[in-house]
């Protein structure tokens, strides 16, 4: 892989990371509800999900998902259901006092943090579009004349790093916004995130595999 190819990949990955998705909305919501400590757990879960999916693609399993309509639809339905459920949870969530959240001890934050991690991980893994995207996107930057393992490792590390930075920005925005909003404003932001989840669920519900 040449330096020019890597630079093009970095620009493309950053542009893709900036597009709002379910993990970005979760980062924003976690920042609103629990500050950066809780958001960091969620970001770790989303990053772990991306690493898992990139590994799946590198091992060639992405082609199995592309070829199996049954498997694709099963994961898609699970993803839609989970996004709808998350939207309901966000819609019903009460506005949190950030000062109270920040004052919690690490022992109090850890259980909620684990929930945030598992939610983000589940969202990342339950979207078949992401697997197909990685399967179509990453190989374009791999030099097949050279060992592919190290190249996938580098591409995966770059994407996860950029994606993590963007999620941190979303979470930070949520943390800062909540400092200046009323309880009603915080509740409206939560419901806005819920509506975003439902919109993404609807998009995934009607989306079909390329060539299907």
pLDDT (tens place) for every residue of the chain, 212 residues total: 678 888 888 888 887 777 667 777 788 888 877 778 888 898 999 899 889 888 888 887 666 666 677 777 777 777 678 778 777 877 776 655 444 444 444 444 455 778 888 888 888 887 666 777 777 677 777 777 788 788 889 988 998 999 899 889 888 887 777 666 556 666 776 677 677 768 867 876 776 654 55
In a domain, 67, yes or no: yes
Confidence at residue 180, expressed as pLDDT on a 0 to 100 scale:
63
How many folded domains does the chain comprise? 1
Prediction pTM value: 0.67
In a domain, 66, yes or no: yes
Confidence at residue 107, expressed as pLDDT on a 0 to 100 scale:
42
In a domain, 200, yes or no: yes
Confidence at residue 135, expressed as pLDDT on a 0 to 100 scale:
75
Confidence at residue 62, expressed as pLDDT on a 0 to 100 scale:
61
In a domain, 211, yes or no: no
Contact 9, 73 (CB under 8 A): no
Confidence at residue 205, expressed as pLDDT on a 0 to 100 scale:
76
CB burial class (10 A; 0-12, 13-18, 19+) of residue 179? exposed
Confidence at residue 161, expressed as pLDDT on a 0 to 100 scale:
93
Contact 155, 10 (CB under 8 A): no
In a domain, 64, yes or no: yes
Residue among 59, 70, 182 at smallest CA distance from 128: 70
Domain containing 156: what range? 3-206
Q: At what angle do helices 128-137 and 69-92 cross, to 10 degrees?
A: 120
Give the CA distances from residue 61 to residues 76, 121, 127, 149, 208, in Å, rounded to whole numbers and listed in that order.
17, 19, 15, 14, 19
């Amino acid at each position: 892989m040449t330096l020019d190819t890597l630079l093009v990949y970095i620009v493309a990955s950053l542009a893709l990371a900036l597009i709002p998705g379910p993990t970005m909305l979760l980062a924003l919501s976690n920042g609103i509800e629990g500050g950066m400590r809780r958001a960091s757990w969620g970001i770790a879960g989303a990053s772990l999900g991306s690493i898992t999916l990139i590994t799946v693609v590198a091992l060639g399993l992405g082609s199995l998902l592309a070829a199996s309509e049954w498997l694709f639809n099963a994961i898609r339905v699970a993803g839609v259901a989970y996004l709808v459920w998350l939207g309901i949870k966000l819609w019903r969530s009460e506005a949190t006092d950030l000062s109270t959240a920040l004052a919690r001890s690490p022992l109090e934050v850890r259980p909620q943090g684990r929930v945030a991690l598992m939610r983000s991980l589940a969202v990342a893994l339950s979207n078949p579009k992401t697997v197909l995207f990685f399967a179509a996107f990453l190989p374009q930057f791999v030099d097949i004349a050279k060992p592919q393992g190290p190249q996938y490792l580098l591409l995966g590390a770059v994407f996860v790093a950029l994606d993590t930075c963007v999620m941190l920005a979303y979470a930070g925005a949520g943390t800062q916004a909540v400092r200046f909003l009323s309880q009603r404003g915080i509740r409206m932001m939560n419901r806005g995130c819920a509506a975003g989840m439902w919109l993404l669920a609807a998009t995934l519900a009607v989306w079909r595999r390329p060539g299907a």
